[in-house]
Structures are given as structure tokens and as C-alpha cells.
Structure 1
Amino acid sequence: MPTIFTHAIVPLAIAAAAGRGVVSPKVAIAGAIFAIAPDADVAGFKLGVEYADAWGHRGATHSLAFAAICAGVLSLVWREARSLGAFVFLTMAMASHGLLDTLTSGGLGAALWWPFDDARIFAPITPVRVSPIGMGFFSARGLDTLLSEIKWIWLPCSSIAFAGWGLRRAKGAVQKG
């Protein structure tokens, strides 16, 4: 799995690219939390849930369906998220977690298609180092993970955010001119 910081950067980059008029700052923060949330499934280890179980790590909580369900529930109970745009953004934010996990070099793949298929899958390429858990994060392997994430996730996300910002600025300049 990528680090929680990296999971959060994806929706924040999308929100920055889209701008405040499309994704409000509150919804952007909710998206970052949604992007991190699927890893709460590790609590199941303490309850005897096996890694490979449907509700184990990288299982149901990492699926596209789970992302849409969570976004739908939040959209129902939180006024700020009651728009199609917010629903789509929040779904994409949570779905990005499982998608990023399919790019990692270790562990089991993600059950993206749960509940229709429990199979754990990886992307055709897996360039992102899997993050060590716990204190192992503060090791040479943890540093390698961060460097891998910077190269494969942070730099592309930064490019998306800056491109969106630049396009909005250019559009504003054309409209003023």
C-alpha cells in the first residue's frame, strides 16, 4: 500500500485542478479522508479477520462499489456533499485508494470488483513500492517507498493540479481580455 500521505494527495490534486468553484475546500478535505479510510480495514486483524478474506485488508473496503456506497451515504447526510459533482468526486477519492494499491509491488492485490468478484488484482505494472507498516516506515525501505511514491504519484498529481490551476488562470485572463 502507498503511505496515507500519498493516498490523500490524489483527491487533493484533483480538487486543486478543478478549483474551489467545482470542489469546495470542505469536500476536498472529505475526499482526502475518504482516500485514507479504506485502510481502516487493518483493524480486522485484531478481530481475527484474515488478510485474504472479503473483509480483510485490501478487500471490500478497497472496492469501487464500497467507494460509491460511502460517497452516497455522505451525500445523503451532509449538505455540502449534496450534488452530483460532490458525489462523483468523493467516489473517485475513495476509489483512488484501491486503484493506487493495485500499483504496488507487494501484498495482495485489491478487490476492486467486490461484491461481484472477490479476486484481488494488480495493475499490469506495479512501480510503487509497498509501504512498510509501523516503525518499519522509518527505515531505508520506508525511504525507498517515499521516493517511489514521489516519482510515480506525487509528481503526476502535482502536474495535474498545476495544469488545472493554469487552465483556470488562462480562462480567467481570456474572459477579462
Structure 2
Amino acid sequence: MASIFGHGLVAYTTSKVIDSRSSKLLLLLAIISAIIPDIDVLAFNFRIPYSHPFGHRGFTHSILFAIIWSASLALYFGKNRKLIFSIVIFLSTISHGILDAMTNGGKGVGFFIPFDNTRYFFSFREIIVSPIGVENFFSEWGMHVIISELKYIAVPCLILLAVIFYVKNRN
């Protein structure tokens, strides 16, 4: 998986690209939504195998989960901006699986669970997989993850945000 920092930055960027006047609530929901798919690491505590549909990188990383999650949050929190909330939250949630499919570790992402349990990676797999657990993150491995995410996540996000800022302030 990419780290929570990488996932959160993509969600922040997504919300600003889709809706430059994103409310604090939408930003918070987007960031939470980009991180929530990793709730499935709890499956390890219940001895649910990685390859199981509810194993790590399984259902909570799927397109169906992103649809259900985003629709639920948009209906509850979106008020008169349900469509914008739904789009931002969906893209933030699905971005988690997309980033994970670009890492160099794990066993792939179950984008199509429950219809197909196949796990997928993208051909671009340059993001160094983040260790599971805070104690393992503050290590040499964690430093390599941060450098990788700066290169492949932060720089593209910052460029996109700069362009949005420039265009917004130009008008």
C-alpha cells in the first residue's frame, strides 16, 4: 500500500481539482475516504487470508465499495451538493486501490470484487510499498517509501494544485 500521507494528498488534490472551493467537511471526508480502504488490514487479526474477498486489498479496495461508500456519504453529508460530494468521495476512495496497484508489493488489488476475485497490479509499479504498522514506518524502509511518494505522488499533486491555483487566480 501507499502510505496514509500519499493517499491523503491524492484525496486533497482530487477535492481541489473537482471543486476548488471544497468545504472543510468535503476535504475531511475525501481524506478519510482515501484511507478507509485499509480498514481491511484488520482481516489479518481474524486470520482471513489475503486472497479472500474480505482480505487485505479486497472488497474495501473495490469499485463497488467506492460506489457504496461515496453514495452513502454524499446522501448523508452532501445536502445540496450531493453530486459533487459523490464524485469527490468516489474518486478519493478508488484512488486508494489505484495507488496500491502501483506499488511494488502485496498481491494485487481486487477492483472487481465481489464479481471477480482476481487481484490486479498496473504495469507501473514504482511506488515503494509502505510497511503495515506505525513502528515499521519509522525505519529505513519508511524513508524509502516517503522518497518514492514524494517523487510519484507529491510532485504530480503539487503541480496539479499549482495549475489550479494559477487558473483560479488568473480569472
Q: Normalised by the shorter chain, which TM-score bucket? A: over 0.9
**Which whole-Å CA distance do the structure 1 matches of 2:121 and 2:89 have between them?**
23
For residues 121-147 of structure 1, what are the alpha-carbon distances to aligned partners after superposition, in whole Å with 9 as ceiling and x for unaligned? 001110000011222211111101110
Partner SS for 2:144: helix
Tell me, yes or no, if structure 1 residue 19 matches structure 2 residue 20.
Answer: yes
What is the identity, as a one-letter code, of the residue corresponding to 1:64? I
Change (3 A) 1:41 1:73: same
**Which whole-Å CA distance do the structure 2 matches of 1:80 and 1:26 have between them?**
12
**Which whole-Å CA distance do the structure 2 matches of 1:131 and 1:88 have between them?**
27
- Tell me which residue corresponds to 2:31: 32
Alignment of 1:10-159 (within 5 A): 10-17=10-17, 18-20=19-21, 23-80=22-79, 82-134=81-133, 135-159=135-159
**Which whole-Å CA distance do the structure 1 matches of 2:82 and 2:16 have between them?**
18
For residues 2-57 of structure 1, what are the alpha-carbon distances to aligned partners after superposition, in whole Å with 9 as ceiling and x for unaligned? 1111111101012233411xx32211110000000000111111112111110000
**Which whole-Å CA distance do the structure 1 matches of 2:79 and 2:96 have between them?**
22
CA RMSD of aligned residues (A): 1.3
What is the identity, as a one-letter code, of the residue corresponding to 2:20? G
Matched positions, count: 169
Which protein is bigger by CA-based radius of gyration?
A: 1
Partner SS for 2:53: coil
What is the identity, as a one-letter code, of the residue corresponding to 1:12? Y
Q: Give ranges in structure 1 of 5+ residues lacking alignment.
A: 172-177
Q: Which range moves more in the overlay, 79-88 or 61-70? A: 79-88
For residues 62-104 of structure 1, what are the alpha-carbon distances to aligned partners after superposition, in whole Å with 9 as ceiling and x for unaligned? 0111101101111222244752111011000100000000000
**Which whole-Å CA distance do the structure 2 matches of 1:5 and 1:152 have between them?**
13
> Would you say the 8 A contact 1:103–1:123 is kept in 2?
yes
What is the identity, as a one-letter code, of the residue corresponding to 1:101? D
Partner SS for 1:159: helix
